[in-house]
Amino acid sequence: MVQYGGDEVSALVVDIGASSVRAGYAGDDTPKAVVNSNYGFIAESTDGDAVMDDGSAGSASSSKMFIGQHGPTVWRANMQVGNPIQDGMINDFKPIPALMRHALQDVMHVDSTEHPVLVTEPAWNTPENRERMAEIMFEEFQVPAFYIANTAVLNAFAAGKGSALVIDIGKSTASVTPVVDGFVLRKGLVHSSLPQLVHASARNQLINQQPNHPPIQLLPHQLIAGKTPVAPNAPPMFQIRHDRTSQTTPSLLKYYEEREVDEWIQSVAGVLDQGWNDQLVNSRPAKQYEFPTGFNAYFGKDRFQVGEMWMGASRDVQTSNPGLPPALPQLLSKSLNALDADMRGVLLTNIVLTGGGSLFAGLSERLQSELQRQMPNVAIKMHAPGNTVERKYGAWLGGSILASLGTFHQLWISREEWQEHGKAIVGQRCK
């Protein structure tokens, strides 16, 4: 077995999520590269344009890809937008090599053949996915050593805990994962598409008539030639770029709309920390927000209604939509009820709240309040880092800590072991 230990190891850590690909050096506090996971692509043209191969083995199709700062945020005619993540894990490996190459080579300027690489995975990842990632790293990036680690375990490590109940809220998926002594208790693992429901609720609220505002056009600045300032709630006065609208694909327009909704959520939306109360809502100040079209309005009660979706949709909505993903209290109850009673107490005093979605204003306080209300006689302690970077990149930070430990170096899968044992070594070594 080839071991990597001491100062000669400068391992790299890569964490791939629905919002971004995070990459950096083990031992650092923050990733060096944060690359948008959304990428633009245009089908190969017939006029001899240069094409960036997607890097996947045996791929029959080639596309010109646009990644990072030059990705889908830059408008291009007939460009489509893709994302390799679905249900919290990679479901399309074709763009993965290009995304990782951009992060490691173009942004970090490192030679992957000289560094062991630790990659993260969700607790519900498949063996086939793990083996495919190992294959990409060894065969395409020619890494000297590789390891794949569970994001829940890494988030617990980042919080300084070997055992924890990890609540991870990402861009597309929310999960609750019990971790005990560095291992996932799979019977208590639950996840859902709740963040997508919250996002859809915000979008529907914006584009439909509301008591305090008319339907709002979610056009991005890329499609607007100019605008004139208007009073709050007045019809917007802007000039649209007709030269672009006809060449804007549905997937690109959807991507732009999602970004506008995200901006609105981050700027004005919130969660009431003690539960819904009309009097309290009305006492909170309204927040003004302006959209790229120039339309602007003050958002009061409605900015908190979106946040309530984290705790559960109204009874009427649930009745008419029985297939809605479970809210955070339901996810927590389902996870805890699947565990032995003596284990629950330990985990409830070691709750870790992490993920970019957990930064929704007021969410950590409300979640603590809801848990205390449901279990008034139980001690509950929640670790929710106030540091935005630590909260957003908890799994990456945990990987950075793990890969820099001297005791971890014997766990690396070396290139020699990969060549000797093939894919089977991944399941044997990475528990």
Chain segment 58-68, per-residue pLDDT in tens? 332 467 899 99
The 3-class SS string of 191-221 reads: EECHHHHHHHHHHHHHHCCECCECCCCCCCH
Q: Which of 118, 152, 155, 114 is nearest to 134 (CA)?
A: 118
Residue 50 has pLDDT above 50, yes or no: no
pLDDT value at 118 more than 80: yes
* pLDDT for the residue numbered 314: 65
Which CATH code fits 6-159+389-429? Answer: 3.30.420.40
Of the two residues 166 and 320, the one the predictor is more confident about is 166
Strand (E) positions, 270-429? 287-290, 296-299, 351-354, 382-383, 413-414
Rounded to an integer, the average pLDDT of 341-355 is 95
For residue 8, name the pLDDT band (cuts at 50, 70, 90): low
Q: Please check the confidence at residue 319 and state whether its pLDDT lies above 60.
A: yes
Nearest to 99 by CA among 16, 187, 155, 190: 16
Q: Residue 155: which of 412, 431, 400 has the closest Cα?
A: 400
What does the pLDDT read at residue 48? 42
Closest Cα partner for 292 from 190, 191, 220, 396? 220
Number of H helices and E strands in the chain, helices first, is: 16, 21
**pLDDT of 413 strictly over 80:** yes
The architecture CATH gives domain 160-193+325-384: 2-Layer Sandwich (3.30)
Beta pairing, strands 164-169 & 351-354: parallel
End-to-end CA separation in angstroms for the chain: 18
For the chain, give the mean pLDDT. Answer: 91
Q: Is the pLDDT of residue 300 over 60?
A: yes
Residue 315 has pLDDT above 90, yes or no: no
Average pLDDT over residues 374-393: 92
99: pLDDT confidence band, cut at 50, 70 and 90?
Answer: very high
* pLDDT, average across residues 262-286: 91
Distance CA 263, CA 269 (A): 10
Pairing relationship of beta strands 287-290 and 296-299 according to DSSP bridges: antiparallel
pLDDT given at position 321: 72
Task: Please state, in angstroms and rounded to a whole number, the distance separating the CA atoms of residues 256 and 270.
Answer: 22
Alpha helices, DSSP H, located in 237-362: 242-245, 250-268, 278-283, 301-307, 315-320, 328-337, 341-348
Same CATH topology for 6-159+389-429 and 160-193+325-384: the answer is yes
pLDDT of 139 reads: 97
Residue 41, classed as helix, strand or coil, is strand
Cα–Cα distance, 121 to 16 (Å, whole number): 8
Query: Considering only 68-77, 123-132, 184-193, 275-284, which range has the smallest mean pLDDT?
Result: 275-284
Domain ranges of the chain: 6-159+389-429, 160-193+325-384, 212-310
Query: Rounded mean pLDDT of 171-184?
Result: 97
Does residue 57 register a pLDDT over 60?
no
Tokens found for residue 113: 């053949």
| One-character DSSP codes across 80-107 | EEE-SEETTEES--TTHHHHHHIIIIII
The identity of residue 201, as a single letter, is: S
How many other C-beta atoms can be found within 10 angstroms of the C-beta atom of residue 189?
A: 20
Work out the average pLDDT over 221-248. 97
The class level of CATH for 212-310 reads alpha beta
Residue pair 84/90 in contact (Cβ under 8 Å)? The answer is yes
Asked if 196 and 262 count as a contact pair (C-beta separation under 8 A), the reply is no
Are 161 and 177 in contact by the 8 Å Cβ rule? The answer is no
pLDDT at residue 49 above 80?
A: no
